[in-house]
Amino acid sequence: MNHRFLTIISTGALGLASMFATAQNPIVRDQFTADPTARVFNGKMYLYPSHDIPSPIESLKEWFCMADYHVFSSDNLVDWTDHGMIITQNNVPWVRPDSYSMWAPDCVYKNGEYFFYFPSAPKGERRGFQIGVARSTSPTGPFMPMREPIKGVNGIDPCVLIDTDGQSYIYWSGGGMMGAKLKDNMVELASDPVRIEGLPDGFKEGPFVFERKGKYYYTFPWVRKDTETLAYAMGDNPLGPFEFKGTIMEESPTGCWTNHHSIVEYNGQWYLFYHHNDYSPEFDKNRSARIDSLEFNADGTIRPVVPTLRGVGISDARRHIEIDRYSDISPKGVKIDFLNPDNKFDGWKSSFSKGGSWVRYNKVNFGEKPVKTVSARVKSSAGGTLNVLVDGPKGKKVASIKVPKCNDWRVVSADIVGDAPLGVHDLVVALQNGRVDVDWVGFDALPWTAGAMTTGRYRNMFAEAGYSQAEIDAKLAAIYDSVFHGPNKVYFEVGDSMAYISDIKNHDVRTEGMSYGMMIAVQFDKKDVFDRLWRWCRKYMQHSSGDMDGYFAWSCKTDGTRNSQGPASDGELYYITSLIFASNRWGNDTGINYLAEARNILDKSMLKTGHNRVAPLIDVNHKLITFTPDRWGGRYTDPSYHLPAFYEVWAKWAGDNRSEYWLECAQASREYLHKCTHPVTGLNPDYSNYDGTLLGRNGIFGDAFRFDSWRVPMNIALDYSWSCADGDWQRAYGNRIQDFLYSQGIDDFVDQYNVDGSTVERIASAGGKTKLRHSLGLVATSAAVSLACTDPKCYEFIHKLWNSGHQPYDDGYFDAYYDGLLRLFAFMHLSGNYRVICPAGNSSESI
């Protein structure tokens, strides 16, 4: 809602104011993904893994622990999308909800439906594992689990083969390696189970069966000696007999006891999906999916596959290339270590310690346009020089990067020498002298090419601008303290268990500020602050019955008396996202079930039908957030409410079986931002129609770039940082709006414009004062958008924010609330501390 004025309307009306991953191994970078079953549907690869988690119960601390399933997709095997949770142990009628035994699954398509097969421990007196089925009309769900498991199938690791004649077969392990025909309904056996014959002695599990050129391949993990290999047999019939042929992949060189796999053809190439404990070297029950290419001999036998870090696919030279996922490495002088041993999802680094040592990374596409520079993220206690070559350690040198002595990570660059490489080449990074740690390298590297929901990485642009980490930490802490505890604080505690954030100048408490405060609290790991704010919201602001049940009164007095009954959609947007993050960070058994609270808001919003003028937060026709979810504010939207990455968070962790819908909302929101921002200035109106056009009303508020609009640059920066699903446009937008503000004078641009950049005819007042200002809030958000900018002048905006103070303007006006909160958010963004909070707190690192 708009922060600068307050209008109260009578009861019954509304008061208003205001993850892809790369084909480097492992392929999913923000969670464990074991037992990867890959399937091709409609020309796209889908991945159905199990989901290892740290055990919440003592009995499984040293064993496999899996509570749900996610599905991922890719059309190039390089960029992967997490479509969120599709099944959980809590929503399957026959599964014991505290069993944590959602082991290796499979999914197939037949008769217009997708059938998802999964094992788990049943309720009641039944022991062992059974295998159930969930059905959907989409490969990403929502899936509806059947009430009972498949009769006659007792075991784990289901695999389903649909033969060329249409007959379906199911395979599993349990009491031996078993198989049977399925009825055409895909949920009942059509034959008695048979034991698969012709396999070697020793422990076996995890069958995966496929057909190629009239031969049937029965593949399986097999313990030949100490740990599991991947082995196979071949036959002429789906249920055998089979003839054992040997191994596909040998035992893990690092001792991961299990391996589980699938083999699929995609665009003419066969691939082996398997898992390894890359992110959990000390505990092999937490595993991660990998891909490598697979080839056949002329006689149909399978060539052995050697596991690689490099994985598959061609890497873009203009993206950040993590050379620690190398194709080859020199025998001495380079060591691969975790960037952050306390959070291994942050990834790895290559530590060069000896001159002449090198790392080779194959298949890098330099394109048809010559690159001009190479950049690397580095750290060095002594300084050094890195040589960048193509086509081998003795190949052509294309650049030398001088690395200064630096104890903190920083990005350094060098110009390309001679003719730049074109097309696809192997890349080599070699140490000439000194000692240097390398995170990534990239050519003409864009500021971001994959979002943090995939990479777990966040830019620290203050560090890039030359400030030390100690300075950054101290500055961020001081700004947080000023907002929450200083003499101009906006946070006030009430009794032993509650607190509120007040818009001081308007003497009220708003869902905007309360939800902002909760987001800040969960980002800073301030559980007591978060819980206090939420309890105040629940007690005084949230409706618990009636047409507005689940929504929040957007404005209250500081004693809790409501100024308006109606909601403002941005508050609910932040409430839901911050509650999901709280669930991921602190769990749901510490007094507040955060996830249940988020789901309650979502579910009750989606049940609104327009009765008594109350509607869903998201306009169902446009899939865009409403200004206010009612008949009046539901006719248009506010550009500053658009945070597409928030919907991706909902899709991933809300667990409400609406993942696809939320992803569609994210896409619609990005498309809307293209329409509502001016193509030259980058400015947007405070409010607009759903097609991005101006409302065209004569009132002072709505069609101009004013107070609400300040948030848009920072919101687009957040979407760029977290998702980067619209990177090309967002980079152009960031440059465009900074260009306009720079043209007005970096110390002089004002806080209100028409969207074409012309001067407003009427000035909106703030705090009772009517004046154009060089407002701190806009200084903050125009600096935050630097995350997406490619023009070097973005650092001038960053320096201006760093050196800005928070004090009264020359006319005496002072805004502790809006200016203060936006300033804090901007410092969080630019220091790499506004993060996607994953389960168990894996929010990863700033770079």
State yes or no: pLDDT of 701 exceeds 90.
Answer: no
Using the Cα atoms of residue 257, residue 258, residue 264 and residue 267 in order, give the sign of their dihedral. Answer: negative
Q: Strand 457-458 and strand 845-846: pairing?
A: parallel
Beta carbons of 607 and 594 less than 8 angstroms apart: no
Domain boundaries defined on the chain: 34-294, 315-447, 469-846
Q: Which helix (H) or strand (E) holds 110?
A: strand 106-110
Q: What was the pLDDT predicted at 358?
A: 98
Cα distance between residue 767 and residue 777, in whole Å:
14
Beta carbons of 139 and 71 less than 8 angstroms apart: yes
Q: Strand 130-136 and strand 144-145: pairing?
A: antiparallel
Mean pLDDT value of segment 217-223: 98
What digits encode the pLDDT tens for the residues 787-828? 999 887 898 999 999 999 999 998 889 999 999 999 999 999
Helix (H, G, I), strand (E, B) or coil at 357: coil
Residues contacting residue 627 through CB under 8 Å, at least 6 positions apart: 16, 568, 569, 633, 634, 636, 637, 638, 641, 687
Q: Which helix (H) or strand (E) holds 428?
A: strand 424-434
For 91, which DSSP code?
G
Share of the chain above pLDDT 90, in %: 83
How far CA 361 is from CA of 279, 328, 352, 655, in Å, comes to 21, 7, 15, 38
Beta carbons of 72 and 39 less than 8 angstroms apart: no
What digits encode the pLDDT tens for the residues 488-533? 999 999 999 999 999 999 999 999 999 999 999 999 999 999 999 9
Mean pLDDT value of segment 375-402: 95
Which among 270, 268, 266, 272 has a CA at the least distance from the CA of 296?
Answer: 270
How far CA 11 is from CA of 14, 569, 572, in Å, comes to 8, 18, 20
Cα-only R_g, the chain: 28
Which among 96, 52, 51 has a CA at the least distance from the CA of 69?
Answer: 51
Whether the bond between 207 and the residue before it is cis, its omega within 30 degrees of 0, is: no
User: How many angstroms separate the first and last alpha carbons of the chain?
Assistant: 33
Q: What was the pLDDT predicted at 790?
A: 84
Tokens for 603? Answer: 């579910």
Cα distance between residue 681 and residue 737, in whole Å:
6
Global confidence as pTM: 0.68
Which residues sit opposite 177 in a β-bridge?
A: 173
Tokens for 567? Answer: 């909601």
Q: What was the pLDDT predicted at 6?
A: 31
Angle, to 10 degrees, between the axis of helix 727-743 and the axis of helix 794-802?
Answer: 70
Question: Phi first, then psi: what are they for 661, rounded to 5°?
Answer: -65, -45
State yes or no: pLDDT of 112 exceeds 80.
Answer: yes
Angle, to 10 degrees, between the axis of helix 711-722 and the axis of helix 818-830?
Answer: 30
Beta carbons of 285 and 52 less than 8 angstroms apart: yes
For 810, which DSSP code?
T
Q: What was the pLDDT predicted at 162?
A: 98
Cα distance between residue 108 and residue 701, in whole Å:
53
Question: Phi first, then psi: what are they for 511, rounded to 5°?
Answer: -60, -30
Beta carbons of 130 and 150 less than 8 angstroms apart: yes
Helix (H, G, I), strand (E, B) or coil at 778: helix
Angle, to 10 degrees, between the axis of helix 818-830 and the axis of helix 511-523?
Answer: 30
Residues contacting residue 576 through CB under 8 Å, at least 6 positions apart: 598, 601, 602, 646, 650, 654
Helix (H, G, I), strand (E, B) or coil at 226: coil
Cα distance between residue 38 and residue 231, in whole Å:
18
Beta carbons of 498 and 509 less than 8 angstroms apart: no
What digits encode the pLDDT tens for the residues 741-752? 999 999 999 999
Report the side by side order of strands in the sheet with 555-556. Answer: 491-494, 498-503, 508-510, 555-556, 562-564
Question: In terms of pLDDT, which residue wins out, 751 or 1?
Answer: 751
What digits encode the pLDDT tens for the residues 230-264? 999 999 999 999 999 999 999 998 889 999 999 99
Cα distance between residue 218 and residue 232, in whole Å:
6
Q: What was the pLDDT predicted at 580?
A: 97
What digits encode the pLDDT tens for the residues 134-145? 999 999 999 999
Question: Phi first, then psi: what are they for 738, rounded to 5°?
Answer: -65, -35
What digits encode the pLDDT tens for the residues 114-123? 999 999 999 9
What fold characterizes domain 315-447?
Jelly Rolls (2.60.120)
Average pLDDT, the chain: 92
Question: Phi first, then psi: what are they for 346, rounded to 5°?
Answer: -65, -20
Share of the chain above pLDDT 70, in %: 96
What digits encode the pLDDT tens for the residues 529-574? 999 999 999 999 999 999 999 999 999 999 999 999 999 999 999 9
Mean pLDDT value of segment 657-685: 96
Confidence band for 842, pLDDT divided at 50, 70 and 90: low
Residues contacting residue 593 through CB under 8 Å, at least 6 positions apart: 583
Cα distance between residue 333 and residue 349, in whole Å:
14
Beta carbons of 693 and 805 less than 8 angstroms apart: no
Q: What was the pLDDT predicted at 649?
A: 97
Which among 687, 584, 702 has a CA at the least distance from the CA of 642?
Answer: 687
Residues contacting residue 96 through CB under 8 Å, at least 6 positions apart: 89, 120, 121, 122, 123
Tokens for 821? Answer: 């909160």
What digits encode the pLDDT tens for the residues 584-625? 999 999 999 999 999 999 999 999 877 778 999 999 999 999
Cα distance between residue 180 and residue 506, in whole Å:
71
What digits encode the pLDDT tens for the residues 28-38? 988 999 999 99
Return the exposure string of 553-575: e unless at least 16 CB atoms fall within 10 Å of the residue's CB, then b: bbbbeeeeebbbbbbbbbbbbbb
Cα distance between residue 531 and residue 585, in whole Å:
13
Cα distance between residue 486 and residue 330, in whole Å:
55
Question: In terms of pLDDT, which residue wins out, 436 or 839?
Answer: 436
Q: What was the pLDDT predicted at 20?
A: 33
Cα distance between residue 49 and residue 157, in whole Å:
11
Question: In terms of pLDDT, which residue wins out, 585 or 445?
Answer: 585
Report the side by side order of strands in the sheet with 156-162. Answer: 156-162, 168-173, 177-182, 194-195
Quickly tell me which residue has 């770079």 as its tokens.
847
Q: What was the pLDDT predicted at 474?
A: 94
Question: In terms of pLDDT, which residue wins out, 739 or 124?
Answer: 739
How far CA 170 is from CA of 15, 191, 273, 568, in Å, comes to 59, 10, 20, 51
Tokens for 343? Answer: 């959070």
How far CA 128 is from CA of 95, 134, 154, 235, 610, in Å, comes to 12, 20, 8, 30, 49
The CATH architecture that domain 34-294 belongs to is 5 Propeller (2.115)
Confidence band for 12, pLDDT divided at 50, 70 and 90: very low
Which among 511, 447, 516, 461 has a CA at the least distance from the CA of 483?
Answer: 516
Half-sphere exposure of 61 (CA within 13 A, CB side): 3
Q: What was the pLDDT predicted at 445?
A: 66
What digits encode the pLDDT tens for the residues 408-431? 888 888 999 999 999 999 999 999
The answer as to CATH 3.40.50.150 being correct for domain 469-846 is no
Active site residues: 512, 708
